[in-house]
Structure 1
C-alpha cells in the first residue's frame, strides 16, 4: 500500500465519512441511485433493475449504498471501502433502515490494488473517491475492467475552479501546521483561522456558504461534525480537475462522457439567461468548449457525471414506431399545485405546467396502454388531434417523466 493510500486509510478510519448519523435522511431520494431512471436518462432505452449487479466503489459509511439498496430492491449490490471503520458504520446504517440482506455484499478493498471481483457490473457508482487516490488514472482503469460493455458508470470528481478558495484554505492550514500529518492539529488550526478572518474575506465567505449549504441540505450535526471539517479542509490527499483534464482522463481509459448529472446547469441558454447575442456566439464552440465556458462562469465545486465504454445514442422513434410501444410512467414524479397552476416535477428538477386535459392523459398513462389507442381516445374526448397528443407524450418522455418500452 503506497504512502498516500495509507494516509487516506488512516484518516477515514479515524473520521469515517460521510458523517451522516445512522438513521437520518432515510427517505431522501437520489435519482442517480436508481438504475432504471439513470439508464433511460443516458441511453433512451428502458432496462429493468431486476437481477442486475451494482458496484458501490468507495462506499464510505454506506449512505450511497443505502440509497442504491432502496431504489433497486431486486439488484445484487456490492460495496467496498478502504476503511474498516467506515464499512462497520455502513452495515449498521443498512441494518437500521432494514434493508440489509443477502443481496448486499460489503468487503474491504483498496481501489489502487483491487482484487479480482470475478464478475462485471451493470452500474458502477464511484463518487468522491478517485480524487483522494494516489492515481485516479489507475483507479478508473481498475473500475472500467468490471464495467459491462453496455453499462453506465457514475463518477464525481472535484472541480479546480469551484474549489479555488477551499484549496487556498487548505494551503494556509498546512503552512501553519507543525505536523502536516496530524489531522487534529490541522482541524484546530483551521477553526482558529476561520474565527480570525474578516467576514468579507473570500476564504471565510466560501466557508460560511459551504457550512450553510451542508446545514440546509443535510443537517446542522453533519455541518458541525469533525469528519466533515477534516474531509473538506484537512484531507490527507486530494486533487482537482478542470474540464480538459476530465475529458483526458476518460479518453485515456476508453470511456465516453454521456452527460452531467445536473445537465440543466450546463445549458448555454440558461448560463446566459436567454441573451441571444451570446448564445449565437456559442454556436461556433464545440460541446467541450461550452462546458469549459460553464466551468469558468459557474465554478461548480464538483463534476458529477455519467460515462460508459460505448457511445450511447438516444434512439429517435418515428411516429409509427412510437405508436407500437407501451408506456411505463416513472414513479418518481409528482403532480403539485401552486396557486392556480398544476405542475409536474421530476427528480431532475424539471417543472412542466399541466392543463386539465393533460392531467387526465397523464393519469391514464399509469395504466400502461398502447400509445396509439390512448391518442385516439383522448382526441375524441378533448378534440386534440393526433400530433398534439403525440407531441405532449414526447415532451413527457424527453423529461424522463415516462419511458417507452
Structure 2
C-alpha cells in the first residue's frame, strides 16, 4: 500500500465515513442505470454491481435492500467501516452483499464476475486516491462491455469557498499534525466562516457536522477536485465516454437561464462550453455523472415505429402525490403531482397526462407502449395524442425503457 493510501486509510478508520442510516441515493436502481446506454446484456445471470468505496455502507445497504435479485460487491480500505456495514447487512437479513477490504489502486482481492461488473458505483472516492486516474483505469478494466460507471467527484468551482477555509485552517494548524489536535481550532474557524464565506451557500452549517463528516470535509488528508476541462480529460484517459449527468436539469441551460437573448447565445455554444459556464455561475460542489466504455454510446430515443412494441417501466426515482377530497359516498381527485430525484415537485395540469399518472402510481411491472396506447384510447385519446404522452413521460423521466 502506498504512503498516501495508508494515510487515507488511517484517517477513515479513525473517523469512519459516512455516518447515517441506509439511504436511497440517486442512481440506486441498476436497471435504470443500464437503460442509459445502447449495448444490452447478453445473459440472464443475476446483475453484478460493485460499490467501489462503500465506507460504512449506507448507500449499498439501501440499494441492496430494494433490489434483492441484484448481487452487490462492496469494497473499501477502511476495515472499521466495513465491519459496521457487514454487521448492518446481517442485522437486516441482506444476503446479496459481499463485503471485501480492497485498495482501488490495485483491486487485489476483488473477485470479478465472468464478463465483468454490469454496474460500478463510486461516490466521493476516486478523488482521495494517490492516483485517481489509475483508480478509474482499474475500474474500467473490470467493467462489462455493456456496463456503466456511476461516479461522484468533487467540483473545483463549487468548492472554492471550502478551499479558502481549508487554507485558513492550514495556516492556523499544520496539516501534518494529528487530526484530533486540529479539530477544535478548525471547528472554531469554520463557525466564523458561517457568517462570512459560507453565508447562504452549500457549506453553511458545516461546523455543526459530526466529527466523521467534519473531518472528511475540512481536514481530509488527501483530495483533488475537477472542473469540466480536467474531468473530460480524466474520462478520456480511461478510455471511457461521458453519457449523462445524474441530474441533467442541473446542467441544462434551458433550466438555468430565462433571458431569451442570453439563452439563444448560450445554445450556440457546444455542450462542453455550456457546462463550463454553468460550473462558474452556480454552486456545483459535486460532479455526479454516468460513463461507459468508449465503444458504447447513449441509448437512442425510441422511434414512433418502435413505441407499441417497446417495454416501459416506471422510473424508481419518480414519486407521485395524489390530492383527494372525500365527498358523500364518493371521492374526487383534486390534483396529481410528481417529482424525479431532487427536482421540485410538478403539478400535472393536462387531464390526459394526469390520468396516466394515476395509473402509473400503481404500476410495478413492465408494460408495452401498445398497452398504454390502448388505455389512453379508452379514456378518449387518439393514437397520435397517446404517443405524444408517452414521449412526454420519457422526456420528464417518469418512465424508462429497461
**TM-score calculated relative to the size of structure 2:** 0.87
Moved more, 127-136 or 114-123: 114-123
- Output the CA distance in 2 between the equivalents of 1:378 and 1:44: 29
- Output the CA distance in 2 between the equivalents of 1:394 and 1:292: 29
The answer to whether the 8 A contact 1:269-1:275 is kept is no
- Output the CA distance in 2 between the equivalents of 1:348 and 1:202: 25
Match of 2:111 in 1: 117
- Output the CA distance in 2 between the equivalents of 1:160 and 1:179: 20
Indicate whether 1:80 and 2:75 are aligned: yes
Q: Deviations over 1:352-388 (max 9, x none)?
A: 5154443444455637555335435533542x22111
Q: Deviations over 1:201-245 (max 9, x none)?
A: 215665862539xxxxxxxxxx53111111111111111111100
DSSP-derived class of the 2:118 partner: strand
Distance 1:208 1:306, change over 3 A: closer
Aligned residue-pair number: 384
Q: Deviations over 1:124-151 (max 9, x none)?
A: 0111111111100111011111011110
Match of 1:142 in 2: 138
Correspondence for 2:210 among 219, 225, 232 = 225
Question: What aligned pairs does 1:4-403 form with structure 2 within 5 A after superposition?
Answer: 4-20=4-20, 24=21, 26=22, 28-40=23-35, 42-43=36-37, 51-96=46-91, 98-101=92-95, 103-115=96-108, 117-119=111-113, 120-178=116-174, 180-195=176-191, 197=192, 200-203=195-198, 209-211=204-206, 224-272=209-257, 274-309=258-293, 310-337=295-322, 340-347=334-341, 349=343, 351=346, 353-364=348-359, 366=363, 370-372=368-370, 374-376=372-374, 378-382=376-380, 384-403=381-400
Match of 2:329 in 1: none
RMSD of equivalent CA atoms: 2.7
- Output the CA distance in 2 between the equivalents of 1:330 and 1:186: 45
DSSP-derived class of the 1:284 partner: coil
For structure 1, the 5+ residue unaligned runs are 213-222
Cα deviation, residue 68, structure 1: 2.2
Q: Deviations over 1:121-176 (max 9, x none)?
A: 00001111111111001110111110111101011111111111111111221222
Distance 1:224 1:327, change over 3 A: closer
- Output the CA distance in 1 between the equivalents of 2:349 and 2:367: 21
- Output the CA distance in 2 between the equivalents of 1:306 and 1:348: 17
Q: Deviations over 1:262-306 (max 9, x none)?
A: 21011102221x211111112321111111011000031110111
The answer to whether the 8 A contact 1:345-1:351 is kept is yes
DSSP-derived class of the 2:267 partner: helix
The answer to whether the 8 A contact 2:126-2:153 is kept is yes
Q: Deviations over 1:103-128 (max 9, x none)?
A: 31111111112216343100001111
Structure holding more helix per residue = 1
DSSP-derived class of the 1:111 partner: coil
DSSP-derived class of the 1:37 partner: helix
Distance 1:182 1:393, change over 3 A: same
Distance 1:57 1:404, change over 3 A: closer
Distance 1:348 1:390, change over 3 A: farther
DSSP-derived class of the 1:397 partner: helix
The answer to whether the 8 A contact 1:159-1:299 is kept is no
The answer to whether the 8 A contact 2:47-2:71 is kept is yes
Q: Deviations over 1:286-335 (max 9, x none)?
A: 11111101100003111011111034232233322212234333455333
For structure 2, the 5+ residue unaligned runs are 325-333
